[in-house]
């Protein structure tokens, strides 16, 4: 059986605890990426396409790296990082520079979920490093938290709903969000935060499954699978809409009180 993995890659994945299956008949998440069509540019191929259902590959050799939901649900941090970095479950893998896994304390009491990497994040491999990220860091500092703090109490884990940048920063496609959801779910399970802070509509949708506007969801404490959730405005929106900064501050104070942070 031929393998798409080199010996070195196999050793590396093995060392990280990632199981590599090569079976003639395996259930796989197939990339929802259309086959190239003559005359079509790479950019054309990266426009959103409808999700394909899980497919039973018949008679073809399939490499599967922790791509099913149940596989992902068992991964530890190194294996999860490796699975995300290798992910080809949707078309975004074609246009990304790299995946953006997340950053911060792995047992932080506060976990922040944004939308998706932008241009800077795609280049640097870290979430919220552009202007919106600077605002987020300032907001966190205001309640005594920091992405590089050494303790779960003062630290924070920051990640996004999507681990890859949508081309031209377009909105996440629901199919992309669904494909990425097992990674976010596993991150939440591993961090075990006391509080999730959803920043923006897409994070709120991903965490709460609600289509309601941020204005309706913010200002109160929700619950997701036993974990408290607060919804607030996205920092990029706040950069454009100064009038809502005071509301975001109220949300942050609510988060601080749930976390019982010293005032
Ligand atoms: N916006 C997000 O939602 N996430 C990032 O990482 C950067 C900008």
Give yes or no for residue 154 CB within 6 A of ligand 1: no
Whether 84 maps to a domain, the answer reads no
Ligand 1, atom 3, lies closest to the CA of: 115
Tell how far the Cα of 114 is from the centroid of ligand 1, in angstroms.
5
Counting ligand 1 atoms within 8 A of each CB, the residue from 114, 164, 176 with the most, and so the one to mutate, is 114
- Contact status, residue 157 vs residue 190, Cβ threshold 8 Å: no
Residue pLDDT, tens place only, 78-93: 999 999 999 999 999 9
Q: Is residue 219 part of a domain?
A: yes
In a domain, 213, yes or no: yes
Q: Are residues 64 and 117 in the same domain?
A: no
Tell whether 111 and 211 lie within a shared domain: yes
**What pLDDT is attached to residue 7?**
55
Q: Mind listing the pLDDT tens digit for each residue in 178-199?
A: 999 999 999 999 999 999 999 9
Whether residue 168 sits in one domain with residue 226: yes
Express each pLDDT in 106-123 by its tens digit.
Answer: 999 999 999 999 999 999
Distance of CA 160 from the midpoint of ligand 1 (Å)? 7
Cα 15 to ligand 1 centre (Å): 31
The span from the CA of 110 to the CA of 94, in Å, is: 32
Whether residue 53 has pLDDT greater than 80:
no
Structurally, the chain folds into a number of domains equal to 2
Give the end of a domain, one of 56, 71, 86.
71
Does residue 168 sit within a domain?
Answer: yes
In a domain, 76, yes or no: no
- Give percent of the chain with pLDDT exceeding 90: 73
- Domain hosting residue 200, numbered range: 100-258
Of all protein residues, the one whose alpha carbon is nearest to atom 7 of ligand 1 is: 128
Q: 48 CB under 6 A from ligand 1?
A: no
Mind listing the pLDDT tens digit for each residue in 125-156? 999 999 999 999 999 999 999 999 999 999 99
Please check whether residue 81 lies inside any domain of the structure: no
């Amino acid at each position: 059986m031929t393998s798409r993995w080199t010996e070195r890659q196999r050793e590396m994945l093995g060392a990280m605890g990632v199981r590599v299956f090569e079976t003639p008949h395996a259930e796989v998440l197939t990339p929802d990426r259309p086959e190239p069509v003559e005359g079509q540019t790479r950019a054309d191929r990266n426009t959103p396409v409808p999700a394909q259902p899980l497919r039973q590959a018949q008679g073809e050799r399939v490499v599967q790296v922790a791509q099913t939901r149940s596989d992902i649900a068992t991964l530890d941090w190194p294996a999860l990082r490796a699975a995300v970095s290798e992910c080809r479950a949707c078309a975004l893998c074609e246009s990304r520079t790299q995946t953006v896994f997340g950053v911060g304390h792995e047992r932080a009491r506060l976990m922040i979920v944004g939308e998706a990497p932008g241009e800077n994040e795609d280049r640097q491999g870290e979430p919220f490093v552009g202007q919106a990220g600077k605002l987020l860091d300032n907001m966190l500092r205001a309640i005594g938290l920091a992405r590089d703090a050494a303790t779960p109490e003062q630290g924070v884990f920051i990640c996004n709903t999507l681990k890859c940048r949508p081309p031209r920063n377009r909105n996440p496609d629901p199919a992309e969000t669904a494909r990425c959801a097992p990674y976010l779910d596993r991150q939440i399970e591993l961090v075990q935060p006391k509080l999730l802070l959803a920043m923006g509509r897409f994070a709120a949708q991903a965490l709460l499954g609600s289509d309601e506007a941020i204005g309706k969801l913010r200002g109160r404490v929700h619950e997701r699978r036993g974990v408290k959730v607060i919804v607030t405005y996205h920092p990029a929106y706040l950069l454009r809409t100064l009038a809502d900064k005071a509301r975001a501050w109220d949300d942050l104070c609510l988060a601080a009180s749930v976390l019982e942070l010293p005032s």
